[in-house]
Amino acid sequence: MFSMNHQKFMEMDELSLQKVPYFFIVDFLGENVEIYKENEIKKSGLLIDFQSFSNTKEKHDLHKKLEWKAFPETLESFKKGFDKVQKNIHFGNSYLVNYTRKTEVQTNLSLEEIFYHSIAKYKVFYKDFFVFFSPETFVKIIDSKISTYPMKGTIDASLENAAEVLKNDKKEKAEHYTVVDLLRNDLSMVADHVKVDQFQQIDLIRTRQKDLYAMSSEISGTIKPEFKRKIGSIMKKLLPAGSILGAPKPKTLEIILDAEGYDRGYYTGVCGWFDGENLDSCVMIRYIEKEEDRLYFKSGGGITHMSRLEDEYQEMKNKIYVPIH
């Protein structure tokens, strides 16, 4: 289905079997995989700030006021791909498609400054090429337990009873159920006794522009003996991440490549830190990339048969923000 980089995933297996700590980055299609052992991170120019690992130096010049302008495409332009997605859903080729767009943004901050200014669970700055500030965990492995935390469904937190509205919104709920089901199936490929531990938890994400509520669930299982300590093999099985692709995976990928008409690259890929024992990884969303001298923010959302064009367009635009207090 994907021309994945098998060699690199095998290399990841070897390192994790030898309990060597390393950081890895995998792009959306699993073609580009980069691995940095702990002693190589410094030379790589990567800045990483995870809950479980950080190599950042405190930067004190955080008083620069963020100037921020986004230039989203028109509704008509957004509609072209949206219609392709809806047609495929209508034909039964997919029941959830994560449709994303690329929006030019202008800011007075460099990518590195955005890294230091933003507040998020996972942040990475990559060699003046991209920066992301992601709220979404992909998988965590602690001892032989593997957990995943799909995040699907967001709402403007300033709306009346926003959290309740999000929890009970038919479209958002259907989308969340689908992703939970998809990831439960995905996890079953590498783990036994897979179960949903928490369902539809509501998290608050604060940003300078607006606060958002996001809905997430927790699914866990016990790693199958043949996948024990094989981080590369586990990733190869689970990628691309279901929450940013849709279901069923192979067909949905074809739809996405046709409808989006741009290359996601590292956006919606995953990266992770293996400390020699355990793994923490995230989905690379809330992502800004530099192309020549322009900056592009990539964002999107899940489309189901219940999706309304205007709502999806608005959601894509809502997500173009930097989480700065």
Listed by start position, the domains of the chain span 4-140+228-319, 145-227
Q: What is the average pLDDT value for the chain, to the nearest integer?
A: 92
CB neighbour class for 99 (10 Å; exposed up to 12, middle 13-18, buried from 19):
buried
In sequence order, what are the beta bridge partners of 295? 105, 290
How sure is the predictor about 2, in pLDDT bands with cuts at 50, 70 and 90?
A: low
3-state secondary structure of 76: helix
pLDDT at 160: 87
How sure is the predictor about 110, in pLDDT bands with cuts at 50, 70 and 90?
A: very high
pLDDT tens-digit profile of 195-217?
999 998 888 877 666 788 888 89
Contacts of 11 (CB under 8 A, 6+ apart): 35, 232
How sure is the predictor about 61, in pLDDT bands with cuts at 50, 70 and 90?
A: low
Whether residue 149 is predicted with pLDDT greater than 70 in this model: the reply is yes
pTM of the model: 0.92
Gap between the Cα atoms of 322 and 120, Å rounded: 10
Mean pLDDT throughout 111-126? 93
Contact call for residues 53 and 26 (beta carbons, < 8 A): no
How sure is the predictor about 264, in pLDDT bands with cuts at 50, 70 and 90?
A: very high
The DSSP letter of residue 54 is B
Mean pLDDT throughout 12-34? 97
Gap between the Cα atoms of 298 and 71, Å rounded: 12
- Top pLDDT among 10 and 173 is at 10
pLDDT at 60: 56
Whether residue 85 is predicted with pLDDT greater than 50 in this model: the reply is yes
Mean pLDDT throughout 71-93? 97
Indicate the CATH number for domain 4-140+228-319: 3.60.120.10
